[in-house]
Structure 1
Amino acid sequence: MSGRNVQEKKADEKKKFSLNRHDIRTRLIVLIMISIITPLAVFGFFSYKKSYELLENKLLVTSQQTIDATQYYVNQFINAMESQLLAIGDNKNIKSALSSDLAVEGNAREVLDATQKSNPDALGVYIGLADGRTYLYPQQELPDGYDPRERQWYKAALENSGEVVVSEPYIDAFTQKMVITISKTVSDAAGNLTGVVAMDIDTSSIAAKVAKLSIGKNGYVSLVSNDGITIVHPDESIIGTEKVKELGFWQAVSSSEKGTQKYEYEGKQRFMAFSTDADTGWKIIASMDVDELLADTNVIKKFAVGAVIFGLVAAVAIALLIANNVAKPLAEGVAYLRRMADGDFTSEISRESLERQDELGEIAKAIDKLQEDLKSLLGNIIQSTYTVGDSAAALADISNQSTRAAEEVARTVEEISRGAEEQAGDTERGSTKMLHISHMMEEISSKAAEMTQISRSTGELAEKGIEIVKDLTDKNEQSSKASGEVDSIVNRVAKDVAGIGAILETIVSIAEQTNLLALNANIEAARAGEHGKGFAVVAEEVRKLSEESSKSAEEIRGIIQQIQGSTAEAIVAMEKADSASKQQSSSVGQTNEVFATISKALGNLAGYINEMQKDIAGMNVQKEEMEGLMQNIASSAQQSSAATEEVSAAMEEQLASMEELSSNAQNLEALSDDLKTQVQRFRI
């Protein structure tokens, strides 16, 4: 290793030590800060969360109390109105007035007037009779055709007979106030339905009482009907509308009896709790700004943040104190090790570090012992370096001399090996050519054997062909004889058919004469009158038989003509067959001659092939002797070449070993010199 590489390595180690010291100090500070800040942050977070939950629960309790109070006001108000309506329905004067025609209008108006005056929230009290008449107070002009039985308040009372029915809220057309209508059926003493009594009620008093209720600083309570119509709200423009349906929470509110929701209204996040009145089905909603809830928790949040900041400052101070207490002795130890790395073993570690009773003190003691051991080791190395240097120089001289001698021997062996390789190569090439000739001889022998087999097969086929030609000649002669016999038979048939034709002509002539005789007999029978009737019948039968004979003769004539035509065609065909048979006989004779020639030529070819096989057998014997000689020569050449190659390889290995030994001796000498240079830089 060169001096420059050693210096670069030391510089890298110094940089690494510096970074490690910085990392340890930083890590100590970070770990201490985390161990202090984390519990504070967790405590602050859970304190804030718990406080928020407590305030939220408090808000829920407050909201529920407000909702319960609102529900109490609504129920109290509705119950008071229902009591008055029940009193009207049960009033004896009303029942007696409605069940008779005497002073009906006067009694009814007195009761309605008294009820309206005693209840300032009652905008109007009225009765709809079963016969379609209406009595109300204060008196108003009703439109023409007004029928109370068609009104919703009347129908709702009939559907819930005997119970007080509360209508959905609506804006009164005359007063422009939010109004609800309560109604109940009225029966006479006998229990028969006589009509429905109803009362329009102003909800302003409910709104006034609900408006006095508040949640927090800016929270409020609102009333909404089950259909989404706002009854009570701080914003009067919303009263009587269904704008609440446009808000995101309405779907959850309308489908649940009670619960809580967060929603956005006029750009602010709000929190609301709601409940449903069991009697009216109205939704009582208590809501407030989320910011108001968060305002109470901000104090806790600020306190938690302050605690974390204070803990951070304290953690930094504690971390710096602990880190410096640990990093200072570590820095001293690193500096001491750095001097040792630079080759200075004369310095001593401080007594303060050696006397520490902790892990850092143990490290200082270990470093001090390491220096003493290294000083002793370096002294031994320096002494051994000079001894190794002298031995390496002597070994290098000896190895150089041995290398030169080995090179001379290797060159001589290489020349011998080259000659042996050339001889082996020539012998191998001759053996290869001889092997090629041997393959060719084997192929020629194989082809000759194939030709012999083919010649035998061809001879056998030629003999079979001659036998087949002989058989064909016999068959052809038999065919010619059969054709002659058929020709004779056809000629006889033609003659017989001609004789049959002559006989047929005779039969036709006889039939014609018989027909004429029968005709004459009929004529004579006709002349004889009654005596000739029997003869006429016989003559008629004879005439019919004569006609049938003529027809049969004509049919036979047609058949004979067909037979004569077929016979003529058969004669022509037999003449052609006879001519073809003669040509076939000639061709068969020629074929027989060709097969005889082929058989003779094949006999000559077989003789030639036998002589060629004898010559090939002699050549194979000589070829085998030549192959044996070539193999012996090649084996001797290969053994000689292998022996020289082994000697050459052994010399090459010895030369390589000598060169490696010389190289190692030189390297050892160089390393010894370098080691001397290196150990000289240490001060012990």
Structure 2
Amino acid sequence: MERAPIPPRRRILVVAVVGAVLLVLLALAGLSAGWLAAAAVLALAAVTGAAFSLGVAQTSRSSDAGHPGPALASVPAPDAASPHADFALQQISLSTEEVERVRGLVGEAVQTLMDSFSGLTAEAEEQLALVSSLAHGDGTVGQHEMSFRRFVEEISETLASFVGKTVENSKNAMLLVEQMEKIRHEVEQVTRLLDAIGAINAQTNMLALNASIEAARAGEMGRGFAVVADEVRGLSGRTATFSADIRAVVGAVQGSVAEAETLIHQVASQDMMFTLEAKNRLTETSGKIAELDQRMGATVEVLRHRAGDLAGHVGDAVRSLQFQDMVSQLLAHVVRRLLEVQGALASASQEDRAAAMARLQGLAEELDRSPVRQSALEGGSVELF
């Protein structure tokens, strides 16, 4: 049994369904490829071309059968094509919902990206502020917060004051060494005086001895002189003992002075060496700290420029995210196309073929005008509707 030929009305409905499905697939693919408008125009052109092909085929079939007449003659009611029409309307309705869902997803994703970029910019600015505060302080007067530069300055001032005090103490120690040297010389002078006293005492003792000898020779006449000579000899002995005691004390003082002089000289030498080393270290450390401060300042400047560049890049990215407006308009235009095709299919059973052809042709010309006249983000215009 031969298969009955497919009625022309059924063919246009099938082509319409295929065009609608193609429209949705190309629209979804166009979100990532950037040719959404071309896909919509292509799909609508397929639907419109199918309608025109139906008219041409019907006209040719009428001419070949030997039934002349107008090119757009009326056709029987499309009762047999109703299931196909219902299927086409259902698919178009589902496609419209999916496109609207895509619009929502794109809008939500773009908003999330914009919020993320805004947060990134805020974090970069906060980081720059923290680094700048660490390097230079916040400039607040009367607060306990101190910048690194001020800290270095105070440490340098403290070390300089310490070095100055140490130098002064070293000078005083050297003066004390000089005074101890004078004391040592004076003690030596006392020792020499004691030596002179000892010599005088020895001479006195010798004179007393000679006087005693002469008194003994004088006999009874020199007895009184002998008593005086004995007293002089006793006084000389006591003087010698006293001189020995003084010599012992002076010797101890002289030893203590010499020891103190040695210690003071050693301390003064060590203080002076420490002072010179500390001064050299302070100079070297101050230079390194100044160099570190300069590097930190340069780093802060670099970070400031980097933060500015980052803010510029984020701004460019945020502006680039405005493609969501264009995509939304294109998707809205696609939805409008689908709704118009849906309406055309719904009213196909109520219009004759000529009116349907004219309506589809006018609809195609109207919908060919895309709301977004560009294929990239750098140029073009956006039509708000």
Normalization by structure 2: what TM-score? 0.44
Higher helix share: 2
Q: Which has the larger radius of gyration?
A: 1
Higher strand share: 1
Normalization by structure 1: what TM-score? 0.27
